[in-house]
């Protein structure tokens, strides 16, 4: 899932300063699960904006903060449902991830769409209130060679062959709070009886499959119309 967190309210208020009719749009998928931008959070943010504006004496019949939530902001077919509300607003405050914000901006051409969240990473909930990064979307997965533990996202240096000399008692030299990914990989490979596979040095990574080649695309020729 994509993990995000809400921007500070002061930053959001600065962003929407000058607009009178704001539509706060939640997303019902990843950001609902990570409790950053779902229906509940959209309602809370809309209320916070109303309260802040009321404190400033800005509320009047001409000023309005409304809210709506779609199932997925990153797919156009879900956005038609809010077209009327978007048309009635001066600015849309998206609580989707960066893809959701951009999908809304493309769908509602000419409408100001602003991000209420900071999109952080692809990850999973570790326990209540804690989400961790698991994948950096490198475009050339090596999990088959690392026991299902990602060295790109989880090693602080993204080392393809580790550990580095800073690994101490299973922890990363960057912080005692961070497990050394390569220690985790070693332990996992050992438990799988595959330790000998770590003797094969992984070749330098082709970063062209990552960001160096510009915006990436996935094309399925069999599905193109
Ligand atoms: S190797 Fe690349 S694709 Fe695979 S989990 Fe890590 S970052 Fe993601
Ligand atoms: S200590 Fe481990 S996780 Fe940290 S940079 Fe070195 S190999 Fe990577």
Give the per-residue pLDDT at 60.
78
pTM of the model: 0.91
Mutate to test the pocket of ligand 1, among 153, 162, 209 (most ligand atoms within 8 A of CB): 153
- pLDDT tens string 88-136: 999 999 999 999 999 999 999 999 999 999 999 999 999 999 999 999 9
The overall average pLDDT reported for the chain is 95
User: pLDDT value at position 104?
Assistant: 97
Confidence class for position 186, pLDDT limits 50, 70, 90: very high
Q: Residue 64 belongs to what H/E stretch?
A: strand 64-70
Q: Please tell me the predicted confidence (pLDDT) of residue 127.
A: 92
Distance 211 CA to ligand 1 centre (A): 13
Residue closest to 167 by CA, chosen among 147, 153, 184, 192: 184
**CB of 141 sitting under 6 A from ligand 1:** yes
**Token pair of 64, please?**
């309005």
Report the SS3 class of residue 111.
coil
Concatenate the DSSP letters of all residues of 171-186 into one string: EETTEEEEE-HHHHHH
Ligand 2 atom closest to the Cα of residue 163 is 7
Least-confidence region, from 9-13, 14-18, 25-29, 210-214: 210-214
Of all residues in the chain, the percent with pLDDT exceeding 70 is 100
Query: Separation of 146 CA from ligand 2 center, angstroms?
Result: 14
Per-residue pLDDT, 135 = 97
Residue 59 has pLDDT above 80, yes or no: no
Helices marked H in 5-97 — which ranges? Answer: 9-16, 30-33, 39-55, 83-87
Six token digits for residue 80: 């038609």
Residue 111 has a pLDDT of 97
Closest CA to 202 of 189, 193, 191, 213: 189
- CA 137, 138, 142 angle in degrees (round to 5)? 110
């Amino acid at each position: 899932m994509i993990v995000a967190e809400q921007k500070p309210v002061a930053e959001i208020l600065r962003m929407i300063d000058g607009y009178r009719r704001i539509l706060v749009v939640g997303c019902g998928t990843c950001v609902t699960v990570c409790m950053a931008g779902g229906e509940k959070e959209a309602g809370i943010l809309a209320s916070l904006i109303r309260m802040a504006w009321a404190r400033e004496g800005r509320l009047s019949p001409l000023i309005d903060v409304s809210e709506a939530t779609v199932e997925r902001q990153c797919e156009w077919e879900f956005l038609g449902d809010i077209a009327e509300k978007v048309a009635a607003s001066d600015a849309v405050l998206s609580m989707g991830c960066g893809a959701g914000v951009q999908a809304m901006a493309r769908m509602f051409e000419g409408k100001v769409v602003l991000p209420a969240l900071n999109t952080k990473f692809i990850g999973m909930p570790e326990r209540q209130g804690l989400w961790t990064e698991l994948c950096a979307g490198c475009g050339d997965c090596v999990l088959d060679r690392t026991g299902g533990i990602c060295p790109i996202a989880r090693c602080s240096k993204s080392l393809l062959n580790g550990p580095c000399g800073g690994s101490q008692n299973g922890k990363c030299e960057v912080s005692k709070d961070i497990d050394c990914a390569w220690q985790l990989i070693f332990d996992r490979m050992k438990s799988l009886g595959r330790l000998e596979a770590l003797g094969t040095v992984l070749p330098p990574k082709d970063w062209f499959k990552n960001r160096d080649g510009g915006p990436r695309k996935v094309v399925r020729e069999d599905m193109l119309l």
